[in-house]
Structure 1
Amino acid sequence: MSKKWKHLVAICVIGGVSWMLVQSPSVDQYVTALKSQSVSVVKKNDPLLEEIKQKAKEYEVSPKNAMIDSVWKTVPGYNGLKVDILSSYKVMKDDGVFDEKKLIYKQIRPKTHLSQLKAAPIYRAHPDKPVASFLINVAWGNEYIPQMLSVLKKHNVKATFFLEGRWTKNNPELAKMITGAGHEVGNHSYTHPNMQKLSSSLTRKEIQETNDVIKAVTGVSSSLFAPPSGAFRDETVSIADELGMDTIMWSVDTIDWQKPTPSVLTERVLSRIHNGAFILMHPTESTAKSLETLIVNIKKKKLHITTVSEALKEERIMH
């Protein structure tokens, strides 16, 4: 038999087998079952389905693009919301009544993301995001760190500790205690200089050496940089960006280095708290004694206390 005839015979055999499979009762039953399932989930012209479709627009929120603001500098993006009509219908269909509490949403990402922006400092998370973050700069105050870690653990709160490189080298056990408790660590320079006046080469050295010692001591790679005393110039931010780091500032200051009473510190923070707040603090007696009150009252304001990295994410907080 020639190759041509063998090829034709093979085609005929395959076609015949395929035809028999399609005509098989079991296949026919399977297809019928699928059709009945889809019909049971969504009925044509179902009044409830039509109501969900009509009302969906009322509950949808447009995504917010990351942007550079003239005042706040870098503003992260924030996801929008779109109603998942079929999923919402499925959870409401048994009762047959529209219930906004049962709406199912899809998060819609913005078109412009933080990574696409030019390098600029970040003072807060997106103002629509109900979060707050503790930024704890560490170059001294060893005696208060265990107490602060204990309070954070009690309330299941994660903070972002910005570690000075020199401090990390001299206090490896405390640095490991911080990361071991699940907190985020960032870079606070190596020797706490005024980085606004530092040369380019020394700026790079301060940041890189701190990254290296934090990695060596804790095993963690830092991606956030907090310049000492908030002093920087544009080149500082650009160099940090070249090293893969965002420059983090703050929007609420405890001014705890002035040793205020706990009541003064607490009032100072709670009177200024807002969505997306970055709260600057240090390991001081004032902060250690105020921390629990701050956590309790910030949570009462329906703000989620998260690390800086979590706060900067585009994902919405869904209640």
Structure 2
Amino acid sequence: MRTQPFRKGRILGLVIILAALIAAEFHLNKPLPEPVKAAMAPVYQGNELEKKTALTFNVVWGEEYIPQILDILKTNEVTATFFIGGQWAEDFPVLTGRIAQAGHEIGNHGYSHPHPDKLSMSANIDEIKKTDDILFRLTGIKPSLFAPPYGERGDAVLKAANEAGYRTILWSIDTIDWQRPDPAIITRRVTEKIHNGAIILMHPTAPTVNALPQIILELKNMGYEMVSVSTLLQGLQRDNGNHS
């Protein structure tokens, strides 16, 4: 006598569970709203209508070249953006402070320079926030820009950066200076591909130090103003506003 109601109740329970699973699957796979996707999307360049460009340096090694790079930038009155790894900043707090004191923009490059696409979203958030705390403690600056190690841009790292309050920055010109080519090659990679709003990726290497004065000279001769990435993004926001 009890078998039939029991079975009906069990079937009803299974139906409810199945419906919940379908609803959860729909929610997880539901497309993100356009404003959310736009906020998460990495930035490769600034406003194409303004003759400005940004020099960026990803720093997790090469500390021996930082003083020379800072001197060259100071001599030429150029502001750059330094994306600094948290572990490097801990190891070289004085150099980290010098970069900030020189008036350059400080960005976040994660803590231990892992492959972000191999990490979970929570692990990526930990990398970003740990570095955020270190950079603030050493410089008094709370960065708002994040350059993912290796330029990896999977969903986990993009969502992590957005969750941590960061804008993800990549590049439109890669000097590939980490391979330490001849300085003339580094210079050509910049000057032959330069365009309005370009974000130029560099690292602290000996060839970069030797190429940097010529890069700055040629860009100035071509009429480019070298600014921080944040300044470059202001121009991008103005352009977007004009077309809304």
TM range (shorter): 0.7 to 0.9
- Name the CA shift for 1:276/1:210 in 2 (closer, same or farther; >3 Å): same
Question: 1:175 aligned to 90, 96, 105, which one?
Answer: 96
- Name the CA shift for 1:115/1:286 in 2 (closer, same or farther; >3 Å): farther
Match of 1:227? 148
Letter in 2 for 1:310: T
Question: 1:143 aligned to 58, 61, 64, which one?
Answer: 64
Residue by residue over 1:152-188, the C-alpha shift from the partner in whole angstroms, topping out at 9 and shown as x without a partner, is 0001100000000000011000000000000000000
Match of 1:251? 172
2:195 pairs with 1:290:
no
Match of 1:64? none
Q: By how many angstroms is 1:234 displaced?
A: 1.9
Letter in 2 for 1:291: L
Please give the alpha-carbon distance, in whole angstroms, between the structure 2 residues aligned to 1:308 and 1:282. 16
Question: 1:274 aligned to 195, 220, 224, which one?
Answer: 195
Question: 2:233 aligned to 312, 315, 319, which one?
Answer: 312
Please give the alpha-carbon distance, in whole angstroms, between the structure 2 residues aligned to 1:126 and 1:242. 25
Q: TM-score, normalised by structure 1?
A: 0.62
Asked whether the 8 Å contact 2:54–2:81 carries over to 1, the reply is yes
Gaps of 5+ in 1: 1-113
Q: How many residues are treated as equivalent by the alignment?
A: 203
Percent of residue pairs identical: 44
Displaced runs of 4 or more, over 2 A: 114-118
Please give the alpha-carbon distance, in whole angstroms, between the structure 2 residues aligned to 1:158 and 1:307. 6
Q: By how many angstroms is 1:115 displaced?
A: 9.2
Gaps of 5+ in 2: 1-34, 240-244
Alignment RMSD, CA only?
A: 1.5
Letter in 2 for 1:265: I
- Name the CA shift for 1:175/1:120 in 2 (closer, same or farther; >3 Å): same
| Higher radius of gyration, 1 or 2 | 1
Q: TM-score, normalised by structure 2?
A: 0.80
Match of 1:153? 74
Which structure: greater helix fraction? 2
SS at match of 2:107: strand
